[in-house]
Amino acid sequence: MVLDAEDKLDEAKYFLALMQENVSDSKKFKYNLSAFLAAARSVTDILRTQLAQKPGFRRWHDSKKKELEKNRVSKLMMDKRIYNIHLRPINAKHHTKIETTEMIHVLDGALVVLTHENGTKEIISSEHEPQPKAPEPTEPKITEYWFFEECPEVDVLILCTEYLQILSNIVSESKSKFVA
């Protein structure tokens, strides 16, 4: 038996893939994040609808719901979905980091003017050693990521991937326990 929740899980994976493809396009990223949150949150609701009549399911489902509420990632994602659906569009922040390497040569040496007692001046110069040829500059490395203000150290894509894994584990466990 294929669970409808598996289809909803695939839908969430689809929107995650679109988020990954559109990390540079803020509108597309945010719209797909919104769709991801809605699809992902529906997974356990659909499980409950489809398996509610199975003996022991309600107790098991209630315990999983409590686990989701205690887990930092799933709690954040469920809260974001509520905010996004009922209050206002999600406000994830975008960060772009550009790294480049350039070689700067500094020549060391000294120029000393020595004035003798008789008033004559002597210029003393130390030679600098020839520098090796500088390597070519590298292409800039551009890294982009999205984050929530509540969790600025973690990329939204990583949070979504972790949330999907949590939900996938729940779907797998429900199949093994309640689907013949």
Q: What is the pLDDT of residues 93-132, one digit of tens each?
A: 877 877 777 666 656 666 677 788 888 888 777 666 666 6
Q: Which long-range contacts (CB under 8 A, 24 or more apart) does 70-74 make?
A: 71/166, 73/159, 73/162, 73/163, 73/166, 74/163, 74/166, 74/167
Q: 65-102: per-residue pLDDT in tens? A: 999 999 999 999 998 888 878 878 888 887 787 777 76
Structure tokens at 148: 């929530």
Q: Tokens 């489902």 label which residue?
A: 61
- Please identify which residue in the block is written with the tokens 């489809």: 50
Task: Provide the residue ranges of all domains of the chain, joining segments of one domain with +.
Answer: 4-94+149-178
Half-sphere exposure of residue 71: CA atoms within 13 angstroms, side-chain side: 17
Q: Is residue 162 over pLDDT 70?
A: yes
- Report d(CA 122, CA 137) in Å as an integer: 41
Q: What is the pLDDT of residue 131?
A: 65
Mean of all residue pLDDT scores within the chain: 86
Statement: residue 48 has pLDDT above 90: yes
Q: What percentage of the chain reaches a pLDDT higher than 90?
A: 53
Q: Kindly state the average pLDDT of the residues 160-178.
A: 95
Helices (H), the chain: 4-21, 26-51, 57-70, 72-86, 156-178
Residues 6+ apart with CB under 8 A from 159: 73, 76, 77, 148, 151
Cα separation, 167 vs 68, in Å, equals 9
User: Is 63 strand, coil or helix?
Assistant: helix
> Residue 167 class from Cβ within 10 Å (0-12 exposed, 13-18 middle, 19+ buried)?
buried
Q: How confident is residue 171, by pLDDT bands cut at 50, 70 and 90?
A: very high
